[in-house]
Structure 1
Amino acid sequence: MATVISLTPLAACGGSSGSSDSNSLQMWTFKQSHVAGLRNAAAEFKKETGITVKIEAYGPDDAYTTKVQAAAKTHDLPDVLETHSDGEDLVLGATGIAKNISADVGSDWSSLYQKGVQTSGTVTDAKYTESLPADSKTHGVQKGQRFSVPFTSGTFGIVMANKKMLAAAGITKPPATWEEFLADLKATTAKDPKNGGVSLGLKVKATGLTWVLQPLAFAELGKTKYQALFGKDASQNFASPDGVKVLGQYAQLQPYWMPGTQTLDIDTADQAFAQGKSAWDVGGTFTLAFLKQNGMNPDDVMAFGLPAPENGAVPQRALGPLALTGLTVTSTSQHPDNAEKWMKFLAGQKVASKFAKDATDVPATELGADTASVMGPTIADMLKAFVGTPDTTYDPSDNTFRPPTYDQDSMGEVLADLTPLNQKSVAQTATGMAKLNNSFWATSK
């Protein structure tokens, strides 16, 4: 869910950027939880190369966006930016802020990353097509350009649970199916009606759609029928029996939402869970680091992929990883070679392993067979959700089957009326989502 930065083109702007010292670099990040790990890596980088890297964090996302905007206007950007992958990085490339590094990232570098994210930051055919409209935030990019390399990876649809609160309700292991998940929710809310429910940042309406409904629908229907929900055929879209069925399954969560969850954004929903105001929290692999930052011990968290319906088409559905954040060289950096050397250093297995421990986050680097021992049991449990085949893996980055003008926020608004707002029935919601999807197809013509 990329932060989009709207800036005027920076090409040929001149001026200084980053550090003027050839043995010094500046890097900015929007993730406070990454600072300690980055600074530890910078200390090792200096020992190895003699180059100092100064790390600064600016958050939350809106503040980071403002900081980058202001620095771009005054030509005072750092050498390296951590960005949202395959969205914000391409916007920075389109505006001339990010350097095209396609010629510099060879197979010796890209092969260090997990297979699913090795080309992240690249203008693919699909990304180029999205850039063509004059009002596109990435208008002006060219096929094959690359504006970032992956830094962290992960996925959405990861459920966090408070082990102590679950134990009080007699629950000691993750639910294996959607039905068991609902039964466990019922047990925790019965034990603690006020704090036993599930939190999710539903103020951001698309979270319910993309983090829960879509992986649930994929598991229930299988890949082909799931994709058909977003197609033109009325016999297979959300108004069809298949669509009504999966919406009915999603609506089963209604009794178990944490009170007021529809008013919480993603961070405040996670904070509520860390504060014991909910027994369950739906997020992503990135959530654990934020919980730790807010005082929760990762060892007190049970983490697992959103479970699939027992009798669904894909009962062992996996969740596909995608690049979440990337590293970008600013086009005005006076030391781009050193900046790239730093970025490649971070991709090394030993360095990435240490960062994973320091940041409680999943690096994009392929860590091999020792992943569990490197990253700890809670993260290792989350990564079990990645195990699957192409046919059994829900890929959150695949939008090829949706209409070109599809807008997930608008679709999420319709879904929110079903739950948590409880203002529309399943049938009404199915009709509304089908109608909206049809309008996207009509507009795409």
Structure 2
Amino acid sequence: MRIPFTRNARFAAVAAVTALSLTTLSACGGSGGSGSDSKSLEMWTFKQSHVAALRTAAAQFKKQTGITVKIDAYTPDDAYTTKVQSAAKTGDLPDVLEVHSDGEDRVLGAAGVVSDIKGDFKGAWAGRMQDAVQNSGLVTDARFKASQPTSAKDHGIKNGARYSVPFTAGTFGIVFANKKMLADAGFTKPPASWEEWLDMLKKTTAKDPKKGGISLGLKVQATGLTWILQPLAFAQLGQQPYEALFKQDKSTDFASPNGTKVLGLYDQLTPYWMPGTQTLTIDEGDQAFAQGKSAFDVGGTFTLAFLKQNGMNPDDVIAFGLPSPKDGAVPQRALGPQALTGLSVAGTSKQPENAKKWMEFLSGEKVAAQFAKDSADLPATELGADSEALLGPTLSALVASFKGTPENTYNPSPDVDFRPSGYEQDDAGAILADLTPLKQQSVGTTGQKLSKLIDSYWAALR
């Protein structure tokens, strides 16, 4: 199951846990899923692609500690939410839960479903994590302030608490290419620029008009905006002019020459969308690529695991970060990682110390590198240079997409402060879809509509 960029719906569903758990957990007492056996833990995940890799790690953990870890998956996400809700009512939660980072973990923490482990995540354990995700799971002053309204889904969290530790990390704006289709069109390497990628698309589409283009789950309206347009805009304009697109200055917003330039670049993809891509969900777009119905697929680092799950060999894929225009302000743009999933200790666990030992074990460099290879997903742990031989070329390319300086790294997180409060990226994505692939609006009209939409959010604040 893919992790979509917009998580509001997921948090709304999980927030239902809050309403029932604060009363039921104390009433039930809860025994934890692993019972009273001090040498046995239970962990739940919502990602089927993680199960085999976690079980391999669990076998190593047992050899090292004598502690057994039972891994269970409940998918899709809605089924996982329902399972957690039910277990919270009866006190039958496992010892460890894999959660969506920086949202779901806080909702569960506010409900008392998961524990505050701020005193444990420190030293070597914390030091293994990538710098960009160090604070994931932590209730910062800003997050605590945002939780104060009673309508907030994480109302009740404690300032300074930590309700999860980072487990997997990734980024958006990753392009996956079918290695054979590229070779048939005369290409063996990733494109070095936006212009080279367009040339690839032109030739793969000429080779096969129906299957030579790009698939992307554009039925989820924010994907084109957040996974292509925004990193493209950052690369073309640079950080400050990119952020200015979302601000109140008419001379620099989406209707300005800068906005028109970026929208024009994005519109260059119009001839190359896979037929019907605007009707596909995220998973369906990836499945189309895995089935050979497109030469390219746009997603995130986490997409590779889903492709593997759908029968595609990672060695048959060339992966690269969305290319930057040659004449752009940031021609060598990097894509900043963010925490995608975390690990939490259930509030009912009778073995919290063993649960934390297991979570720390998973953060070890060698264990994390093996997890990455087995799951085709990237850990939050900073992997050493010698891990490249273990990971292989495709996973190593995903890791390489993170490498950059603060000045040339695009931050994909929605939790940034240059956009107006209340901004909904799905609304902006819907406007963008009318430009491409639907071809119902011009570049100029699209810029004006985006400018008007963003103005409405700023006006609401005034």
Deviation (angstroms), 1:443: 2.3
Deviation (angstroms), 1:9: 5.2
Match of 1:400 in 2: 417
Q: Structure 2 residue aligned with 1:88, among 71, 96, 104? A: 104
Matches of 1:50 and 1:23, distance apart in 2: 7
Q: Counterparts in 2 of 1:127-276, with a 5 A limit?
A: 127-276=143-292
Matches of 2:457 and 2:146, distance apart in 1: 15
CA contact (8 A) 1:18 1:334 kept: no
Matches of 1:105 and 1:157, distance apart in 2: 30
State the AA in 2 paired with 1:15: G
Matches of 1:400 and 1:111, distance apart in 2: 27
Aligned pairs, number? 445
Deviation (angstroms), 1:126: 2.9
Match of 2:339 in 1: 323
Instruction: Label 1:120 to 1:77 Cα distance change in 2 as closer, same or farther (>3 A).
Output: same
Q: Deviations over 1:38-74 (max 9, x none)?
A: 0011111111212111100111222222222222222
Deviation (angstroms), 1:108: 2.5
Instruction: Label 1:73 to 1:410 Cα distance change in 2 as closer, same or farther (>3 A).
Output: farther
Match of 1:389 in 2: 405
State the AA in 2 paired with 1:74: T
1:437 paired to 2:448 = no
Q: Deviations over 1:316-361 (max 9, x none)?
A: 1110111111101111212111111110010111211221121122
Q: Structure 2 residue aligned with 1:422, among 418, 430, 439? A: 439
CA contact (8 A) 2:15 2:154 kept: no
Q: Counterparts in 2 of 1:21-100, with a 5 A limit?
A: 21-100=37-116
Which 4+ residue blocks in structure 1 deviate beyond 4 angstroms?
none
CA contact (8 A) 1:218 1:314 kept: yes
Matches of 1:418 and 1:111, distance apart in 2: 45
State the AA in 2 paired with 1:390: P
Moved more, 46-55 or 135-144: 135-144
State the AA in 2 paired with 1:129: K
Moved more, 62-71 or 214-223: 62-71
Match of 2:21 in 1: 10
CA contact (8 A) 1:110 1:119 kept: no
Matches of 1:127 and 1:428, distance apart in 2: 37
State the AA in 1 paired with 2:454: N
Deviation (angstroms), 1:163: 0.8
Q: Deviations over 1:83-129 (max 9, x none)?
A: 11112111211222121111221222210111111221111233223
Deviation (angstroms), 1:157: 0.5
State the AA in 2 paired with 1:238: F
Matches of 2:249 and 2:142, distance apart in 1: 23
Matches of 1:393 and 1:223, distance apart in 2: 9
Give RMSD over aligned pairs.
1.4
CA contact (8 A) 2:20 2:89 kept: no
* Runs of 5+ unmatched residues, structure 1: none
Q: Deviations over 1:115-147 (max 9, x none)?
A: 111221111233223323332212222321111
Three-state SS of the structure 2 residue aligned to 1:116 is helix
Deviation (angstroms), 1:149: 0.6
Moved more, 275-284 or 381-390: 381-390
Q: Deviations over 1:205-230 (max 9, x none)?
A: 11111110000000000000001111
Matches of 1:58 and 1:328, distance apart in 2: 16
Moved more, 203-212 or 98-107: 98-107
Q: Counterparts in 2 of 1:283-362, with a 5 A limit?
A: 283-362=299-378
State the AA in 2 paired with 1:118: Q
Three-state SS of the structure 2 residue aligned to 1:391 is helix
Matches of 1:272 and 1:236, distance apart in 2: 38
CA contact (8 A) 2:245 2:254 kept: yes
Q: Counterparts in 2 of 1:362-381, with a 5 A limit?
A: 362-381=378-397
Q: Deviations over 1:204-256 (max 9, x none)?
A: 11111111000000000000000111112121111111111111111111111
Q: TM-score, normalised by structure 2?
A: 0.93
1:117 paired to 2:128 = no
Three-state SS of the structure 2 residue aligned to 1:382 is helix
State the AA in 2 paired with 1:404: S
Three-state SS of the structure 2 residue aligned to 1:10 is helix
Matches of 2:270 and 2:141, distance apart in 1: 40
Q: TM-score, normalised by structure 1?
A: 0.97
CA contact (8 A) 1:9 1:94 kept: no
CA contact (8 A) 2:214 2:295 kept: yes
